[in-house]
Amino acid sequence: MKLRPFLQRLLALCLIGSALAGLNACSDPTDFVSNHEIARLPSLGPSAGPEPMLRLDSKEMPAGPIIYDQVKDSYYSCAGVVGEWFLQLVLAEMNFLARQHGLDRMDGSACALSFTKSGMGSGRIKLHLYKDATEANDCVFKAKCGLARNVTLVPTTKAILRSYFLSDLKGEKFYQHCLAPPEFWHKGVSCEYIGVEAALGIKKEKK
């Protein structure tokens, strides 16, 4: 995914207060033939707020200082970059999904934003939640992570899909979920895996 199209679609939706409520014209997801379970997404947090979902600078990059720069990824603090309302939503969704698998909840006190600069997933923006600042520092700066709680933002013309990944990093167990606001919860799969049309509930035209 290229940088400019991603951020253009993301910014366009961020500037619309009702960006996350724009799926009313989608079809019923149960019309799809799928191997994964699809449920209705409960209302878990605010769907809009006074500030953008993400703050971007004139170069269409996260509007904050880079706290750690890797070859492929740059890391930023969420403070001042991620809209408070959107962080609340991500936290509520993450903890809701964690409860489904008996995983630890986060309190939102430690958060980082990563931007993939090159390679597979170039242009990808991801939010990472941690138990506390110590764990965040160990994970970001030392690559010593005690758990994984992150969400990849997948831009579409209708909404920003949220692809969640959760793991306690013990026993190699991990869990993925694709949330397509405001309706669809695709269980056990990533948004990237099922594709945008399936995630949004859009029927493909028969040839």
Q: 162 versus 25: which is more confidently predicted?
A: 162
Within a domain: residue 97?
A: yes
Residue 177 has pLDDT above 70, yes or no: yes
Mean pLDDT for 178-191 is 91
In a domain, 205, yes or no: no
User: What is the number of structural domains in the chain?
Assistant: 1
Which whole number is the average pLDDT over 23-47? Answer: 65
Q: Provide the token pair at 87.
A: 């962080």
| Within-domain flag for 72 | yes
- At position 31, the amino acid (one-letter code) is D
Report whether pLDDT(204) > 80.
no
Specify the pLDDT at position 19. Answer: 34
Domain annotation covers residue 41: yes
Give residue 182's domain range.
Answer: 3-22+31-200
> Would the pTM of this model clear 0.75, i.e. be above it?
yes
In a domain, 48, yes or no: yes
CA 106, 110, 115, 120 torsion: positive or negative?
negative
| Residue 190: other Cβ atoms inside 10 A | 17
**Winning range, highest mean pLDDT, from 17-21, 66-70, 181-185, 190-194:** 66-70
**How does residue 197 score in pLDDT terms, banded at 50, 70 and 90?**
confident
Span 178-198, average pLDDT? 90
